[in-house]
Structure 1
Amino acid sequence: MPDELGIVHVYPELLGTYGDRGNVLALVHRAAARGITARVIEVALDTPLPRDGDLYLLGGGEDSAQLLAARSLLADDRARSVLAERPCLAVCAGFQLLAHRFEDADGQPQPGLGLLDVTCGRLARRAVGEIVTEPEDLPGVPTLTGYENHRGTAVLGPRARPLGRVVTGVGNGRDGWEGARQGHTFATYLHGPVLVRNPALTDLLLSRVVGELAPFDDTDVERLRDERLDAADPRRHRARRALLGHWAA
C-alpha cells in the first residue's frame, strides 16, 4: 500500500463536464474513510502525464475539448505507457480517447491512444437520460446507475470486455453493452458522477492500488443510489413502495 494515494486528474479544464470532477472527490472520500491519505494531481493540457500516480481519471468533454485532449495525449510520448500500467477510469469523451479511434462532430475518424480494443462511432440521435446496467463479471459490484449524455457508440474488439449489460438506456449503442474494461482500465459513458453513484465501483478501483478495503457504510450515498434506480425504473419504485407499505403494516 502506498504511503499516500496519488490520484491524477487528466486535463480537468477540458474533461470535466457533467460533474465528472466528482469522481475524484469520491475516491478521496472513500479512501479517507479507511484512513488512506490521497493527493490529487491535476494535469494541465500539453503537460506530460506524471509517472508516479496511482490512479488516473479522464472525464467527459465537448467535441472541441475532446480534440484538444486527443492532440495533447498523442503528443505525450509517455501517455500510453503510463495509462496502461496504472488503474484508470475514463468517462464518455475519456472513454473514446482511449479507444483505437473515435469520430468527431463532422463524422471524421480521429485517432485515440488505442489502450482499449474499442472503436467509437456516432449515434444517429444523442443518448440522454438515466441509465442502468448490470455489471459483467465484477464480483461485489451491484447494479450500476448513471446519467448518459453522448453521441458516441463503442464496438468492442476481442481483447476488451464490457463493463455491464444495459437494463435501461443506450450505453454503447449496440449489442446491449455499456462501457469497456481491459487490463487496469475501466471506461464508461456513465456520468452522475459514476463513482459517486456507485461506491462499490469506487472501492474496486481503490482496491487495485491498496488491496482489500475495510467495509464502509455510506448511508447518504446508498439513499442516492436507490433514488436514481427508482427514477430510471418506475416498476422498481412501485415495488419498493409496496414493500415499505407492507413493512409499515
Structure 2
Amino acid sequence: MTQLTIGLILPEVLGTYGDDGNALVLRQRARMRDIDAEIHTISLGTPVPESLDAYCLGGGEDTAQILAAEHLIRDGGLRRAADAGRPILAICAGLQVLGTSFRAAGRTVDGVGLLDATTSSLAKRTIGEVSSTPTGSGFTAALDQPLTGFENHMGATILGPDASPLGTVTRGVGNCDAAGAAGTEDPDAQTSAEGAVQGSVIATYMHGPALARNPQLADLILARALGIELIDLAPLHLDIVDRLRAERLR
C-alpha cells in the first residue's frame, strides 16, 4: 500500500482559523483511495522534516506569525522541502510568512522567502466570501474549477515577478485592494490576484478550510505528493462535497 506523510506545520501558532482541516482533508481523500496517509504535527521549536510528502500551514495573529517566521528561517527544513519540490500549502498568515517580508506588531518582519511576495497593511480588514478563476500558473496548470473560500485578513500582499497568482478574483478582494496596489508596476493585475504559486508552493487567503471547499485543489496537492499527474489520480465522487461547493459558489 502506498504511504503518504503530511506535515502540519506549527498548528499551535498557525492554526487560528481551523486551517488544520486542510491536512485532515488530504489525509481523508488519500485514505478513500486506499492510500495509507498520516499527519505529522511539527510544533514550535521542533525541526521540520524535509522528507515528508506534503506540508500545510494555516493562519495566525501577529505575534504567532513572527514566532513562526523566526522558527522556519532558523530551522531551514521547510526551505529544503521546497527545494526538493515537495508541495506546500500556505493559508493567510502562512502566505505572508512564506513571503519575503510582512507587517506584524507595527514593524516589518523578514519572511521565509519561499514566495516573491511582500505584505503591508490594508486600510480596512477584508472579511467575506472570495472566489476566483484559476490562473493555471506553474504546477496548478491542471486546475479548471472555480476556487472558493472565506477571507479574513488585514494583509495587502503584492506579488513580485517570480510569483504568480493562484486565481483571478471574481468575488471579494483577494491579495489586496486598490490602495494596497498603489504605486505598483501593474496595479490592475495586483488587485485581481488571489493567492500565489511559486515552485512547489501554493498560497492563498482562502479559509474554509480551503481544501474542503476545493477538492480539485486538494487532489492536485495529493497528486504532486505522490509524484503523479492530477489526471492519473483515481477520481472521488462525493455528493456532499458537490453540494457544499454549489452552495458556496452561489
* TM-score, with length taken from structure 1: 0.88
Larger Rg: 1
Matched with 2:183 is none
Question: 1:208 Cα deviation (Å)?
Answer: 0.6
Q: Give the residue type in structure 1 aligned to 2:174.
A: G
Q: Give the residue type in structure 1 aligned to 2:202.
A: F
Question: 1:12 Cα deviation (Å)?
Answer: 0.9
Matched, 1:225 2:245: yes
Matched with 1:234 is none
Report the secondary structure of 1:17's partner residue: coil
Matched with 1:105 is 105
Give identity over the alignment, percent: 49
Given that 1:56 and 1:89 are in contact with CA atoms closer than 8 Å, whether structure 2 keeps it comes out as yes
Matched with 2:150 is 147
Matched with 2:6 is 7
Given that 1:73 and 1:79 are in contact with CA atoms closer than 8 Å, whether structure 2 keeps it comes out as yes
Give the count of matched residue pairs: 228
Question: 1:158 Cα deviation (Å)?
Answer: 1.1
Report the secondary structure of 1:153's partner residue: strand
Distance 2:40 2:77 in 1: 17
Matched with 2:213 is 197
Given that 1:84 and 1:185 are in contact with CA atoms closer than 8 Å, whether structure 2 keeps it comes out as no
For 1:49-128, list aligned pairs within 5 A.
49-85=48-84, 86-106=86-106, 108-128=107-127
Structure 2: state its 5+ residue gaps. 177-189
Question: 1:175 Cα deviation (Å)?
Answer: 2.5
User: Structure 1 pair 216/77, CA: closer, same or farther in 2 (3 Å)?
Assistant: closer
CA RMSD of aligned residues (A): 1.3
Q: Give the residue type in structure 1 aligned to 2:146.
A: T
Q: Give the residue type in structure 2 aligned to 1:118.
A: A
Distance 1:133 1:105 in 2: 30
Matched with 2:161 is 158
Runs of 4+ in 1 over 2 A off after TM superposition: 82-85, 138-141
- Per-residue CA deviations over 1:51-81 (Å, capped at 9, x if unaligned) read 2200011100111111111111122133322
Report the secondary structure of 2:207's partner residue: coil
Given that 1:141 and 1:201 are in contact with CA atoms closer than 8 Å, whether structure 2 keeps it comes out as no
Q: Give the residue type in structure 1 aligned to 2:157.
A: A
